[in-house]
Every structure is written in C-alpha cells, then in structure tokens.
Chains A and B, each alone.
Chain A
C-alpha cells in the first residue's frame, strides 16, 4: 500500500525553471536600441539635425561625466527617489488599509467606493493648483501629489483581489476558527497578493510620472528640475540625460518590485510560471 502511494510521488515536477538562456538570445533586446544610437550619432554628425536640438550620444556621455564629477546628478537622483519613495509609501499604505476595508465589508464599499471612484475620475494634474494653494511650494504638495497617484492603482487592484478570493478557501479559514484580522492576514492578504503586486507596480510607475509633474512646476532640486533647467538654459543634452535617468530609475524600481513579486508569488500556478 505505502509503496504504491510513494510511487506516484516520484513523478512530481519539482525541477526549477532554468534561468540563463544562450548569450545570443539574451542579447537580442540590445540590437534595435544599439542600431538606433548609431543612427542618431550618424545623423547629427552628418549635420542633418542641429546638435543643439539633438545632441549626439557622444556629447551626452561628456554631459553625464560632468554631472558625475560635480556630484549634482546624485543630489537630483537622491531627492527625486526620496520623494517617490515617501509619496509611494504613503499612497500605497493608505490604499492597503482602505482597500482591505472596502474589499471585505459591503457596507464600507457602499459608503466609500463611489466617492473614491469619483475622486479617481479627476485628472491628477488638476490637483496641482489646489495643492500649491493649500500646502505651499515645499515638499508637502509634491509628496501629496505622488501619493494620490500611487493610491488609486493599489486601491483598485487590492480591492478587486480581495473580492475575488475563492469562497472555498475562506471557508477553510472559517473551519479553523479564523475571524477578523487573523482571517484577513492568513487568507485574504496572501490570496490577494498577485493583484496587490499588479497594483503596486502600476502605482509605482504612476508615482514616477507624478514626480516629474510636481518637480516641473516648482522645485530647485530633482530630475524634474533638471528637465526644466535644461529647457530654460537651452541645453537639450541635460534634458535627454534627465529623461534617460528617469527611465533607468523607473525600470530599476520596477525590477525591485518584480523581484519581490517573483519571490513572494513563486507558489502561483500560472501560464507565466509554467515549466520551461
């Protein structure tokens, strides 16, 4: 009997997905950008486009090295990252609380959800004048704007995640006498985690977007300020460098979240995590 049972245990698929495809395959993504950069350099050097409007990549390298030497770029990156970090943290944290409440309680949903849906319909930049009036031009309006941007994706996805938790799994929680916060913690949050991560990732990308909006309007430091400064002083190279740095930071922070998602959701049985 026991042997027979152990027999099918031998067939379980436990081999991890092999990482690290052949080098050539991994480099595929670099081909198109590489060609574009070469084309860009060529076009500017040939004099088809004025270098003060589109500085060639070689000039950008020297701009970057200047910024690195003066250390300015680190100040801008540090200030912007801190704003995104704090704003996203506050927005996501509030969204977690409100999302859990609305997801779990029909009454809270009936009371709160229409209001949040209405607020969500406001184009976010419409907040800017009001925030400046209310909060001045210091850090407070910037962080508030970023927090508003991060709040809604997290709120919407987390609420949906909680409402879609399998009733049968909730019943398992009930069988073990779980109620209230313990039920939320042990059943609802883990079950809604895939949705939560979707929300966190889109919330984070919106946080970067709103950072630029906030810094373009009123700032003396940060990457948005660098963009503005480049425009005012007619230095397209600064603008392009700031854009590239923003893209890199956005990608980096998303990769961090994705790495966390991959670690925390390795139990998921989805098409994406199938055996290679």
Chain B
C-alpha cells in the first residue's frame, strides 16, 4: 500500500487580494486516513474543493492517480458538512444519484444502505430522517461511485456528540471495507487523532502547514487510550505555534 494516491502542491490561492493558501503540499498513500486540522480561515475547505475539482483557480499542481482533479471523477467522492441530500429524491435515489432515474434500483444502493444501517429507509424522503441518518445517507452516496478517495468536509460537525462517535466508527469501518482512502477536514482535534493515520495541522492567514502528527495506533482504537490524548497534545501544540517569519516580524 505504498502507491501515491494524492499528490497535492498548492503554491498560492487567492480570493480577491487576499492570499488564503501559501505553499501547501502533502501526499497521501492509498488506504491512508488523513485529517486536515486548522483554525477557520486556514483554507482547509478550499483545499478540499480544489481536490474535488470544484475550484480550479489556483497556482500549483494537484494529481490524483496522476490525473488533474476533475468534476465527476471516478477517483473521488464527496461528503459535505451538511448532508446535502436532494429533498425531492428518496434515500435510495439519492444514494444512486449518479445513475439518474434508474439509480435507486442498482444493487450497490441496497448494500451500501445496509452497511450504514438504513436498509429499511430506502423509500423514505430526506425530510423523514434525523441529522445523523441523513449524514449516513450522504456517506453512502459518496461511496456509491466507488471512489478511491473520499473527501469529507467537517462531516460530523452538525450532529450531537453521541451520534458523532457512532458516525466516526461507521465511517472507519465502511472505508476499511471498501479500501477507500479518506481525506477529512475537521476542526475537532479529538476526532482528527482518533480517525487518522496522519494529522496535517494548518495555520491561518495565509493557510499553510504547521506540521504533521503521525498516529501509529492500530484499529479498532480505544477512545480512552492515553496515547490518543498525548497525540492530541502534539496537534494542539502545532496549532498554537506561530511561523518563524511572523515571530520575527513581531
């Protein structure tokens, strides 16, 4: 499992006159789980949009399996902060959205819904789901295209703490089952360490990488493991550190 899946190098990205990303580069190997952690405004969601192909205005080079990011890529799936289910489609139709009208009948829809524990909600409309259930449908939809890389933008930030823990475990088990690589944006340090093989810590204004923390712990992990809290501490240290140039300027 040492093939490079994602090779990202964004030199600059600006919104108007404001530089939001400055020299961010990292790689991901197939099967890895990587979190991007940082304060708001560090450009982590923008990075995800670049990888998804939604944002093409940047200087740098991004390669996924050696190809430039593109919309409707067979390599990449997306899960957003909100479930973003289409309210006029049933759960099954949402999961199989890629295939259009016949999508709901595809056998993979059924198996994915079973995996996320929503097999008997296939015919329900999104309005009938709780927030956690809707996000599980969104995960199933993200995996429907069988992407090798699943992008998740603060996927569990809108659900309560207990649902969040269950969704985290679900995500890890489903991703492991499909051999999917995960790139996760979060502002929850605990979540990033618990889920990831590697945490990329970013700083803000302009967004840049402060450092990385490896999490060499086997799965399934125990949330009470003291190693996790030690690594959380390392992430927090990196979050608080100022870049040397700024320190000099002060």
List A residues at the B interface (Cβ < 8 Å): 1-2, 4-6, 8-9, 11-14, 168-169, 171-172, 174-178, 186-187, 190-191, 193, 265-269
Contacts and interface: CB of A to CB of B under 8 A. Distances in A.
A193 B88 contact: yes
Contacts of A268: 87, 127
Contacts of A267: 87-89, 125-127
Nearest to A191: B88
Nearest to B100: A186
22 contacts: A8-B132, A12-B124, A12-B128, A12-B130, A14-B124, A168-B80, A174-B71, A175-B54, A175-B78, A176-B72, A177-B72, A178-B72, A187-B86, A190-B88, A190-B89, A267-B87, A267-B88, A267-B89, A268-B87, A268-B127, A269-B87, A269-B125
A186 B98 CA distance: 11
Contact of A9 (B84, B97, B126, B133): B133
A5 B116 contact: yes
Nearest to A186: B100
A5 B117 contact: yes
B129 interface: yes
Contacts of A187: 86
Interface in B112-154: 116-118, 120-121, 124-130, 132-133, 136
Contacts of B54: 171, 174-175
B86 A172 contact: yes
Contact of B117 (A6, A190, A191): A6
A266 B125 contact: yes
Interface string B99-119: 010000000000000001110
B87 A1 contact: no
A5 B170 contact: yes
Interface string B226-250: 0000000000000000000000000
B46 interface: no
Interface string B163-187: 0001001100100000000000000
Contacts of A176: 71-72, 97-98
A7 B125 CA distance: 19
Contact of A177 (B71, B87, B116, B117): B71
A169 B86 CA distance: 7
B189 interface: no
Contacts of B80: 168, 172
